Amino acid sequence: MTKPNSFLKNSFITLVRQFTSIVIGTLLIIIIARMLGPELQGEYALIINFPTILMMFINLGMNISTVYYVSRQEIDPGESFFNNLIIGVVLSLIGVIAGFIAIYFFGDLLFKDIDDHSYVYFILIAIPFMLLNTFFQTIFQGIQDFKVFNTILVVTQITNLLLVLVLIVLFDFGLMGALIAFISGHALTLLFILVFSVKRFNLTRENMRVNIPYLRKSFRYGFKSYMSNLVTFMNYRINIYLLGFFVGNTAVGLYFTALTLGEKLSVFTQSISSVLLPRIASMGTEEERNHLTSIVSRFTLVFMLVFAVVIFFIIDFLAPVLGNQYKETPFFLKILLPGISLLAVEKILSNDIAARGKPEINMYVSIFNVIFSTILNVILIPMYGATGAAVATSISYSLSFIIKAVLFKSVTGEAFTKFLLFKREDLALIKRLLLRQKFFKKLIRS
């Protein structure tokens, strides 16, 4: 087992690689948006979200339980790799079959404005690659090897971007080119993971066996997180399908572009959140856990609010890059910014609660959120279109943060001021870090 690095070092490594992911991902969004136009961009959004939703339904929380048990050293990473491979293949097959059935019987309802459903059948090829990538990537998160964990993210983005440049910009394959690039990006990432994992893990006959006790407890722990993540994801994405159903693909394209740009902004805090889950799970005392999460949530809240204000004022100047067809997209992003900022802190608190062995709390909150969000979207989208979807999303994200903050206080006993308000001691911490030149030299080398 790899000895865990410091929390700050891992967060920095993750931040640098995810910043690279932001840049590449933003370029990808801009190129696809400009080349396809709002209507085809809307079709692209609906199609690529379908395998993502299916993957959320079939993963059964194995990715979260992998992080939890590997970080607690209750299973060897090599043995976890083999078990995740077997389970991933089985679940992928179930996902592809379920996808075919859903398209065949409900395709006209789910994709009523997409004339050629062969695109939707085609995207099902991505499911095994996406699921196995997630299952394997979380092993590196569990052993707190964040160099590899985040390199995997960058590999996916780079391969996708290069293929988009070739297939859409150079050869003008349009929507099909974008879908091929999406699938190929995940496929090449899986190849990278497999090659690296064979070298990284000690894959012997002893650990290449199905560990029934591990799988049993993984499903028990993972199912609670699975339900939480499933309904949370539905809360994030259900308005895309509702928008397509009530308004049309062009509105989906405009809103989806704003939403994905907004999600790229929150990647900074995801870098810290990814490090927090295994770190909290491996800590011994409640006092250590409370102290760490309180500092992280305070810094995250201040950072995201400042960042959101900056984006609010500069997004109009960056809008022409997307093209004249996307004039409304900056307005939608401005509406989303408050919710996205608060959601970043909510994710920090959620990971802390899950790492304490109480993922069911997140599940209950997520169920409430998806019901509330769906009702709000059904009311606002027919009246206000994509603007209504953005308002509903921002409100539901903000409400989720408020509920999670109250529950975190209840679970930990920490006062709101302790984990939400920036303190004088935080400025002193920043000053000490800036003065530690050796610390930053080590981070840069990492």
d(CA 230, CA 301): 25
**8 Å CB contact between 126 and 49:** no
Of residues 354, 363, 343, the one with CA closest to residue 279: 354
pLDDT band for position 3 (cuts 50, 70, 90): very low
Average pLDDT over residues 66-73: 83
pLDDT value of position 281: 53
SS3 23: helix
384 is written with which tokens?
């206000």
pLDDT tens digit sequence for 83-112:
899 999 999 999 999 999 999 999 888 888
**Could you read off the pLDDT of 199-235 as tens digits, one per residue?**
787 776 666 778 888 888 888 877 767 777 777 777 7
What pLDDT is stored for residue 44 in this prediction?
94
Helices (H), 59-125: 62-71, 77-110, 118-123
